[in-house]
Amino acid sequence: MKKKSTTFKMLLISLLAISMFLVGCSNNSKETGGKKETPTTSSEGGSKKDTLVYGRGGDSTSLDPITTTEGEAYKVTINIYETLLNYGDQDTTINPGLAEKVDVSDDKLKYTFHLRKGVKFHDGTDFNADAVVYNFNRWMNGNDEQFPYYSMFGGYKKDEGHVIKEVKAVDENTVEFDLKRPQAPFLKNIAMSAFGIASPAAIEKYGDDFRNNPVGTGPFKFVEWKQNDKIVLEKNPDYWQQGLPKLNKLIFRVIPENAARLNALAKGEIDVMDGLNNSDEDTVKNNPDLQVIERPSNNIGYIGLNTTKKPLDNKLVRQAINHAVDKKTIIDAFYGGKALPAKNPMPPSIEGYNDAIEEYTYDLEKAKALLKEAGLEKGFEIDLWAMPVARPYMPEAQKVAEVIQESLSKVGIKANIQSVDWATYLEKARKGEFGIFMLGWTGDNGDPDNFIYTLLDKDSIGSNNYAQYSNDELHNILIEAQTETDQTKRNDLYKKAQEIIHEDAPWVPLVHSTPLLAAAKDVQNYLPHPTGSESLLKVEFK
């Protein structure tokens, strides 16, 4: 009996001790769990130096790049597939890809691509002219739902606007594209990662499931996809460029929360992360094991002014608002100073950018004077719509909206901040239901047409011209520029277009942001591309 009672006492004491330690205060439960563990978790195995783990905020929705317009997909697929032409390492100039050379006829209606010989798809089948024809036929016979980005070529086969008349194989290694009419950004479109050439045999084999079983010619082969968790690629040993890729394995991990992703990087669980908060830049810089990488800007964040809504239909009012927004404060406060103030609807990295345009300065007196001229010296009340999501060009829309609201109040404009979920937001914007609204755009193909025509031409009302801005003079210039193939003349046309837009002021161009990435110090040759997705072909560890 005595013995029993001691046992109970011991039991009781230990129970008490455990409970005291653990109840409510869950941190301690990990302490007891963790103490016995050995302290290494990340660098186990000697494989680290040829395996790169890339941490990002969201998962891909498809690994067949043509079936989506969503950037997370391309980050992966650009390593699996290759395009006929490539962009430059860090710009959108045109370089050889799967095609070594392109001949263009004088009337710009015939493009002849001379394909690289001896290239094989990951499934062992040959890359050749027939494969290119197969891919383009597959896409042009589809529709917006299946292959949304194919509309870059003016629509689908059934559509009037479709610019490609025919794609045909001349011989084993030559493909000819016949166009119905010239399309100036044609080659830039061809280089978009959406148009990565896929193995026809694999498309036939997997059918609808090809989006989960990608087969291309790229430096990495697909291994595994665990949704919302990781995508694993491995080196393509038969890759046509000798000695490349440098890495043996590539793993894309989804870590939704930016702060948690940075923790994972600091711990060495991942080697590269995108979506670094501007406010965390100093943390990374002060860590000797990490580095900050800046992505060249290819975007525009803007405040749209619906030109059909009163009183914004008056140009003077729109100009006044342009004078009333303090871009510098916004950039310093929300972009960590890491963004260019915008004066045109496209970033300076795009050819045809008009640097001669004089910015609307932050000048409240001028704004007031313009409002007075418009007969609105007492100001007015209007809704200001702020995006509900973070975008590279607008990381903190709600807070930026508050700054704008404050600025506008100084010239007597009472702006009421509104928001709604992202899908509805885009829908309302498209239908022109907004007065003043915040939005932005990231370029698809590095061509001015992709900014100015897409966002501000009258043809784009109902799609991306959310400001409902219509100017016939501008329209004529943009249409001319679409078929003008002399680059200098074309640039002049776009410069003129930017002058018209500046004068009409359908937007307040706000910023061109510089998205930040962070990486372990020993990651080398990581060249972030302005389009937002880059091949990791040459990346290696020191």
Partner 1 sequence: MIKLLTYTARRIFSLIPVLLGMTLIVFAIIHAIPGNPAQVILGQRATEQAIAEVTKQLGLDKPWYIQYFDYLNNLIHGDLGNSLRTRGPINEEIWPYLTATAELTIVAMFIAIVIGVNAGIISAWFSKSWFDYVAMVLALIGVSMPIFWLGLMEQWVFSIELNWLPTTGRENVRDPITAITNFYLIDTLLQGRMDHFITAVKHLVMPSAALATIPMAIIARMTRATMLEVMKSDYIRTARAKGLRMFWVVYKHSLKNAIIPVLTVIGLQTGLLLGGAILTETIFSWPGIGRYLYDAITFRDYPVIQSGILIIAAIFVLINLIVDLLYVLVDPRIKYSK
Question: 209-268: which residues touch partner 1 (CB under 8 A)?
Answer: 211-212, 226-230, 232, 251, 253-257, 259-261, 263-264, 266-267
Count residues contacting partner 1 (CB under 8 A)?
77
* Residue 16 binding partner 1, by CB under 8 A: yes
Is the peptide bond preceding residue 245 cis, with omega within 30 degrees of 0? yes
Residue from 2, 44, 378, 472 touching partner 1 (CB under 8 A): that is: 44
Per-residue contact track with partner 1, 378 to 417, x per CB under 8 A?
----------------------------------------
Using the minimum distance from each CB to partner 1, give the nearer residue, 45 or 237: 45
- SS3 for 437? strand
* Residue 462 binding partner 1, by CB under 8 A: yes
- Cα–Cα distance measured from residue 219 to residue 236, given in angstroms and rounded to the nearest whole number: 5
Using the minimum distance from each CB to partner 1, give the nearer residue, 184 or 194: 194
* Residue 13 binding partner 1, by CB under 8 A: no
* Residue 29 binding partner 1, by CB under 8 A: yes
Using the minimum distance from each CB to partner 1, give the nearer residue, 120 or 230: 230
Stretch that binds partner 1, among 95-103, 274-282, 370-378, 459-467 (CB under 8 A): 459-467
* Residue 77 binding partner 1, by CB under 8 A: no
Cα–Cα nearest to 113, from 195, 177, 164, 200: 177
Residue with tokens 């784009």: 460
With DSSP H G I counted as helix, E B as strand and the rest as coil, what are the percentages for the chain, rounded to 5? Answer: 35, 20, 45
- Cα–Cα distance measured from residue 160 to residue 211, given in angstroms and rounded to the nearest whole number: 29
Is the peptide bond preceding residue 311 cis, with omega within 30 degrees of 0? yes
Site for partner 1 in 352-371 (CB under 8 A): none
* Residue 204 binding partner 1, by CB under 8 A: no
Stretch that binds partner 1, among 35-43, 98-106, 120-128, 530-538 (CB under 8 A): 35-43
Cβ at position 281, least distance to partner 1 in Å: 18
Per residue, the 3-state secondary structure of 192-252, as one string, reads CHHHCCCCHHHHHHHHHHHHHCCCCCCCEEEEEEECCCEEEEEECCCCCCCCCCCCCEEEE
Per-residue contact track with partner 1, 147 to 186, x per CB under 8 A?
-xx-x-----------------------------------
Site for partner 1 in 115-144 (CB under 8 A): 143-144
Cβ at position 162, least distance to partner 1 in Å: 14
Length reported for the chain: 542
Stretch that binds partner 1, among 34-42, 116-124, 356-364, 513-521 (CB under 8 A): 34-42
- SS3 for 436? strand
Q: What is the DSSP letter of 342?
A: P
Using the minimum distance from each CB to partner 1, give the nearer residue, 230 or 338: 230
- SS3 for 467? coil
Cα–Cα nearest to 435, from 472, 388, 381, 398: 381
Cα–Cα distance list, 474 to 315, 365, 478, 485, 491 (Å):
16, 30, 6, 18, 14
Residue from 235, 430, 458, 496 touching partner 1 (CB under 8 A): that is: 430
- Burial (Cβ within 10 Å: 0-12, 13-18, ≥19) of residue 497: buried
Using the minimum distance from each CB to partner 1, give the nearer residue, 242 or 286: 286
* Residue 319 binding partner 1, by CB under 8 A: no
Cα–Cα nearest to 384, from 374, 373, 399, 366: 399
Residue with tokens 């404050």: 406
- Cα–Cα distance measured from residue 315 to residue 303, given in angstroms and rounded to the nearest whole number: 15
Stretch that binds partner 1, among 8-16, 169-177, 319-327, 505-513 (CB under 8 A): 8-16
Cβ at position 423, least distance to partner 1 in Å: 4
Cβ at position 247, least distance to partner 1 in Å: 12
Cβ at position 534, least distance to partner 1 in Å: 20
Using the minimum distance from each CB to partner 1, give the nearer residue, 407 or 460: 460
* Residue 284 binding partner 1, by CB under 8 A: no
